[in-house]
Structure 1
Amino acid sequence: MEYEVVLPAAGSGKRMGAGQNKLFLQLAEKPILIHTLNVFEADVNCTGIWLAVKPEERLFIEALLAQYNITKVKGLPAGGEERQHSVHSCIKEMSNVNIVLVHDAARPFITHGIIERLASTAFVKGAAIAGVRAKDTMKKVRDGVITETVDRESLWMIQTPQAFRFDLLAEAEDVAEKVGFLGTDEAMLVERLGHEVHIVESSYENVKMTTKEDLIFGEAILASRKS
C-alpha cells in the first residue's frame, strides 16, 4: 500500500538536554534523523517524505539529505510552535495523496512490516495507529495518593506512525485549526470528528529517543539487529 509520510522535525529536544535539536545527535555514528529517514527511503511503498523543519536548520538538513543520499523528501515546510502545527504545514502542501503517515522523527526503529499493516488498515478503515500493550500495573493517583488500580488489559501505550486516509486527516487538521483545538496526537483530532481509530500492534523496540537513557537503549537495539 503506497503512502507518503510526514516527519515533524522542528522540536527543541529539551528533555534530552543536548543544547541542540536531538535529531542531530549521533546514534551509531549517524544522526538519529538519518536512521529514521533510511527506514522510509528503503520502503518501496513510500512515495514521498515531508519534513517540517525550523527555517534556521533547513540548510543543515538539506546538507544531511545530500550527504546520506536521501532522495524521497518532497518538501521541508516551516515547522510550527507545536507538533500539530508542523504536521498541518506539511498537509497543506501535499496533493494527490491517498494514505498519509505521521511519524516521530525520533523513532528510528519502526519496521516495514508494521508500516505496511498501518497503511493497509488505514486504507480500509480510515485511521490506524501503532501501539503496544501496557506491561506494568497502572494506577490513578491524585495528590500523591492512589485512587484506583486500572485494568491494564484495555490499556495501550501509543506510538507512531499514525496512518490515515489523507482527506480524513486534512479535515481533522482544518477543523482543529478553525476552532483553536490543540490535540496530543493526530488520532485525537480524528476522534473529535467521530471517526473510529484502529490500533495496530507494534513493537516495544519502537522507542522514541527522548532522554539520554534512550540513546543507550537505541545503541543496544542497533547492536542486536546487527548481530
Structure 2
Amino acid sequence: MKYYAIIVGGGSGSRMQSETPKQFMLLNGKPILMHTIEAFYYSDLKPEIILVLNIDYHIFWENLCIKYKFSVPHTLVKGGLQRFNSVKNGINLIKGKAIIAIHDAVRPLPSNKLITRSFIAAEATGNAIAALKSKDSVRQQNGNLSKSLNRDQIYLVQTPQTFKSEILSKAYKQDYRNEFTDDASVVERMGISINIIEGESQNIKITFPEDILLAEFLLNRNK
C-alpha cells in the first residue's frame, strides 16, 4: 500500500499579529512548516508528501528551502480559495489506491506513533480522525441561552485525518458547503461513519504568539 501526507498551509498571520503567514514563522530556528513536513517524512511509514500552498507563496517557500538547506522531498501544489479546494488539489495528484493523511501545516509536533496509528487505523477501517476528549466543562450557546453538554461525549478534533483514497476522492467530488470545516465533515456528508482515534496533547495547532513558546518547550522536551 502507498501512503501519502497532504500538508495544507493556507493560514495567515493575522491572529499571530504578524504579516508573515503562521506556517513560515520560526520555531527553534526554522519555519514551522519544515518541522511539520519532517514529522511525516521521518515517520515509520515514510509517506510521500504533497504540500499545498497559496500560489503567491510558492517562490517564497522555495527561497526558504534554499536559505535553510531544506531538502526533504515533497511536491508543491497550488492552493484553492477554500481549504476544501486546497485539499482537493492535493488529492487530484494521487493515482491508484493509497492511504492519505491530511494535516495542518501549523501542527508541527505529531509524533511518529500518532502518524503511524493514523495510517494503520485508516487502512483497517477506512478512516481515522485524531481527536482528544474534552477535559473541560463545555456549554452550547443558542441565542441568549446556553446549556451544559456532557464533556465525556465531546472531542476536540485534530489532524492528521486519514482515509482510504477511494473514500476521500469520492467525497471531494461533492460541491463545497459552508459546513465542511474539516475532511471528516466532507466524508461524513456521504453517510460514512467517522472513526476517532486518540490524539495527542502535544499535537498543538499554532494560532497565537504564546503557542510558539509552548511548541518550543515541547520540541526541546522531546529531544
TM-score for both structures, normalised by structure 2? 0.93
Structure 1 residue corresponding to 2:217, chosen from 217, 220, 226? 220
- Matched residue of 2:139: which SS? strand
The answer to whether residue 73 in structure 2 is matched with residue 72 in structure 1 is yes
The answer to whether residue 169 in structure 2 is matched with residue 170 in structure 1 is yes
- Matched residue of 1:200: which SS? strand
CA contact (8 A) 1:132 1:202 kept: yes
Alignment of 1:125-204 (within 5 A): 125-146=125-146, 148-175=147-174, 177=175, 180-182=176-178, 183-204=180-201
Shift of 1:72: 2.6
CA contact (8 A) 1:36 1:105 kept: yes
Match of 2:40 in 1: 40
After superposition, the Cα gap between the structure-2 partners of 1:30 and 1:97, relative to the gap in structure 1 and judged at 3 Å, is farther
- Matched residue of 2:193: which SS? coil
**Percent same amino acid among aligned pairs?**
31
- Matched residue of 1:7: which SS? strand
Match of 2:59 in 1: 59
Using the alignment, how far apart are the partners of 2:72 and 2:221 within structure 1? 28
The range that moved more, 46-55 or 191-200, is 46-55
Alignment of 1:10-29 (within 5 A): 10-29=10-29
Q: Which runs of 5+ in 1 are unaligned?
A: none
Q: Which amino acid aligns with 1:72?
A: P
CA contact (8 A) 1:2 1:45 kept: no
After superposition, the Cα gap between the structure-2 partners of 1:97 and 1:58, relative to the gap in structure 1 and judged at 3 Å, is farther
Cα distance per residue 1:73-94 (max 9 Å; x no partner): 0x21210121111101111122
Q: Which amino acid aligns with 1:19?
A: E
Q: Which amino acid aligns with 1:201?
A: E
After superposition, the Cα gap between the structure-2 partners of 1:97 and 1:31, relative to the gap in structure 1 and judged at 3 Å, is farther
CA contact (8 A) 2:43 2:115 kept: no
CA contact (8 A) 2:118 2:128 kept: yes
Cα distance per residue 1:78-130 (max 9 Å; x no partner): 10121111101111122134100000010011011111111111111111100
Q: Where has structure 1 moved over 6 Å in runs of 4 or more?
A: none
Q: Which runs of 5+ in 2 are unaligned?
A: none
Q: What CA RMSD, in Å, does the superposition of the two structures yield over aligned residues?
A: 1.6
Q: Which amino acid aligns with 2:156?
A: M
Q: Which amino acid aligns with 1:206?
A: N
- Matched residue of 2:48: which SS? strand
Count of aligned residue pairs for this structure pair: 221
Q: Which amino acid aligns with 1:171?
A: K
Cα distance per residue 1:17-71 (max 9 Å; x no partner): 2112111111111110111111112124123111111222112222334544333
Match of 1:116 in 2: 116
Q: Which amino acid aligns with 2:73?
A: K
CA contact (8 A) 1:38 1:70 kept: no
After superposition, the Cα gap between the structure-2 partners of 1:2 and 1:70, relative to the gap in structure 1 and judged at 3 Å, is farther
Cα distance per residue 1:146-169 (max 9 Å; x no partner): 3x2111111110000000001101
- Matched residue of 2:95: which SS? coil
- Matched residue of 2:47: which SS? strand
The answer to whether residue 206 in structure 2 is matched with residue 209 in structure 1 is yes
Q: Which amino acid aligns with 1:167?
A: E
After superposition, the Cα gap between the structure-2 partners of 1:85 and 1:13, relative to the gap in structure 1 and judged at 3 Å, is farther
CA contact (8 A) 1:34 1:68 kept: no
